[in-house]
């Protein structure tokens, strides 16, 4: 398993288009991906990386951090690709 933390750079956060791009990348990779967001009050929310509704329900805004766990074949490459998506302000 590969884990990383990234600060979401997209202006709209992990919503709509950025979430769709993330979920599509996860589906294409065929790995198991879990996202975790820790809120300011200490509450923790998790989402399956293949579900756009779950990813969007995390409510990750621009500048907020999300932890990503990738499990499967080529997990290091998949993790690098997903991290690049999260760090790209154009998405």
Residue 90 or residue 11, greater confidence = 11
In this prediction the pTM is 0.94
State the total domains in the chain: 1
Domain limits at 73?
Answer: 2-87
pLDDT per residue as tens digits for the range 28-84: 999 999 999 998 899 999 999 999 999 999 999 999 999 999 999 999 999 999 999
Examine the pLDDT at 91 and tell me if it is beyond 80: no
Burial 49-87 (b: 16+ CB within 10 A, else e): bbebebbbebebeeebebebbbeeeebeebbebbbebbe
CATH number of residue 22's parent domain: 3.30.1340.10
Higher-pLDDT residue of 13, 90? 13
Confidence (pLDDT) at 46: 98
């Amino acid at each position: 398993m590969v884990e990383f933390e990234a600060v979401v750079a997209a202006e709209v956060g992990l919503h709509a288009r950025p979430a769709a791009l993330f979920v599509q990348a996860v589906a294409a990779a065929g790995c198991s991906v879990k996202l975790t967001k820790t809120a300011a009050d200490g509450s923790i929310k998790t989402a399956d990386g293949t579900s756009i509704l779950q990813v969007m329900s995390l409510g990750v805004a621009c500048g907020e951090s999300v932890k990503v766990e990738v499990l499967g074949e080529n997990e290091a490459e998949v993790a690098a690709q997903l991290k690049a998506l999260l760090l790209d302000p154009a998405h």
